Structure 1
Amino acid sequence: MFKFLGKAFALLVLSIFFISSAQARDYKEGLDYEIRATNKTVEPEIREFFSFFCSHCFAMEKPFSQMAEFFKGKAKFIVNPVGLIGGDVGVESQKAYAVAINLEIEDELKEELFNRIHVKQDVPEDHDYFAELFESLGVPSEKYEQIYKSFVTQAKVAEYDRHTKEMKIDAVPEIVVNGKYLVKTDNLESIEDYESIVSYLLTLP
């Protein structure tokens, strides 16, 4: 019996060692992450830069939602649409997302717009497309236009653009931690790998 307990204890210690070793991976600047700012945010945050027109962003929608849930209560997860893709319609998509936040239907908008573009191949071409989309979500076009033209929406889009410029974002999707550290994805193979390096970056000064 004691021999069995001894073996069991040894296996337990060994498993803890391997788990700790995996968690204590030595991440390196330039290889696993880049520094994009001098100072970090006051509160812990994870910012996802994305475009509705980006197929990789569509593919990462569910994994990033999983990551947002993983860090709930530990860091604020912020979604930052960019106007890098789609020209004027790309900017329209930013404004649409800002309107959706105002109405607290951003999750519904993301699901519907991603599905239209990447599943149904129904790509937006103008402003009216988004007004119709919001009507399909139960928002009258008059209400959409009112919020669309508001100062709050314009300020929100300006904020998206400011963060995009400050973080030197030229491709999507990207994850930036604490407004300072950009995650490099070359060595990431799963969302768990993503969560691991983000956890590490949240501890850096």
Structure 2
Amino acid sequence: MKRWLVTLLLGAFAAFAAQAAPLFKQGQNYTVVKQIGTEKPQVMEFFSYLCPHCYQFEPIVDGMKKKAPEGTEFKQVPIASLGGKAGPLLQRAFAVAQLLEVSDKMTPVLFESVQVERKLPKSEADIKKLFVDNGVDGKLFDEAWSNFQIEGMINEYNLLTESYKVYGVPAFIINGKYQVRLEGLRGSDAQQKMDYLYQLVNYLLAKTEPSAKPVAVNPSSIKTLNAQQAETASHHS
């Protein structure tokens, strides 16, 4: 066989092997943090308004939502461990925004207040002013701030943070089972790394857990089995 043909075939084989190889690898691009995942696709983002990287990730997460499969649930979990006293205040602010169904409006406001204007809230009054200045009724805010549901939401945030051992943010848990390794993103520039992230997230979103379905039993098969057992018993008697 001519040398040029051998070279061509080897090159084609190498290209095929590269395409056949898995694009994402456990331990390099993601880690398994739970043994059992969700039945439906879910992206859970741990974040803090005090985290500059979380602020920078806001448009990236918006792009992630657009590229994710239909029906994907996006869940945000604010952590309270950053920023001293401001951490719990901002965590509660997110819970209030969720309860009042204004989180889409208030999250950019809270991020900009902390990250752009460099204003750390020192009290409930500071948080309330941000809400009221952006169209939220002050009385509704007061009722929500002291609502018992808020304590349950905060407990859930803290339990999830502890359960998934989240020590740094932003952190992304996919389907309750896989954690994205942001340091494993590939690309020569920010756009390529972002596209790589979207591909990785969608790859992990496809790895949902099958739901446990009860086995359907045909009544006629039960009658047949009972008849067979009765006939066997009569032969032995």
Superposed, 1:128-143 pairs within 5 Å as: 128-143=125-140
- Residues 1:170 and 2:167 are matched in the alignment: yes
Instruction: Report the AA paired with residue 24 of structure 2.
Output: Y
Match of 1:180 in 2: 177
SS in 2 for 1:60: helix
Q: Which moved more, 1:162-171 or 1:68-77?
A: 68-77
Q: Which moved more, 1:136-145 or 1:180-189?
A: 136-145
Cα RMSD, aligned residues only = 2.1
- In structure 2, distance between residues paired with 1:140 and 1:76: 29
Q: Which moved more, 1:49-58 or 1:65-74?
A: 65-74
Q: TM-score, normalised by structure 2?
A: 0.73
Aligned length: 188
SS in 2 for 1:157: helix
Match of 1:194 in 2: 197
Match of 1:92 in 2: 89
Sequence identity (%):
29
Larger Rg: 2
Unaligned runs of 5+ in 2: 1-11, 188-192, 210-237
Match of 2:108 in 1: 111
Instruction: Report the AA paired with residue 19 of structure 2.
Output: S
Deviation at 1:21, TM superposition (A): 3.4
SS in 2 for 1:176: strand
Deviation at 1:203, TM superposition (A): 2.7
Match of 1:6 in 2: none
**Contact kept in structure 2, 1:177 and 1:202, CA below 8 Å:** yes
Deviation at 1:72, TM superposition (A): 5.4
Unaligned runs of 5+ in 1: 1-13
SS in 2 for 1:143: helix
Q: Which moved more, 1:92-101 or 1:65-74?
A: 65-74
Match of 2:49 in 1: 52
Q: Which moved more, 1:136-145 or 1:194-203?
A: 136-145
- In structure 2, distance between residues paired with 1:109 and 1:177: 25
- Residues 1:126 and 2:123 are matched in the alignment: yes
Match of 1:160 in 2: 157
- In structure 2, distance between residues paired with 1:97 and 1:55: 17
SS in 2 for 1:135: helix
Instruction: Report the AA paired with residue 146 of structure 2.
Output: K
Pick closer, same or farther for the CA change 1:72–1:95 going to 2, 3 Å: farther
- Residues 1:77 and 2:71 are matched in the alignment: no
SS in 2 for 1:41: coil
4+ residue stretches of structure 1 with deviation over 4 A?
A: none
Match of 2:215 in 1: none
**Contact kept in structure 2, 1:67 and 1:191, CA below 8 Å:** no
Residue from 127, 147, 166 that aligns with 1:150: 147
Match of 2:19 in 1: 21
- In structure 2, distance between residues paired with 1:89 and 1:118: 13
**Contact kept in structure 1, 2:41 and 2:206, CA below 8 Å:** no
- In structure 1, distance between residues paired with 2:23 and 2:67: 22
SS in 2 for 1:182: strand
**Contact kept in structure 2, 1:37 and 1:181, CA below 8 Å:** yes
SS in 2 for 1:78: strand
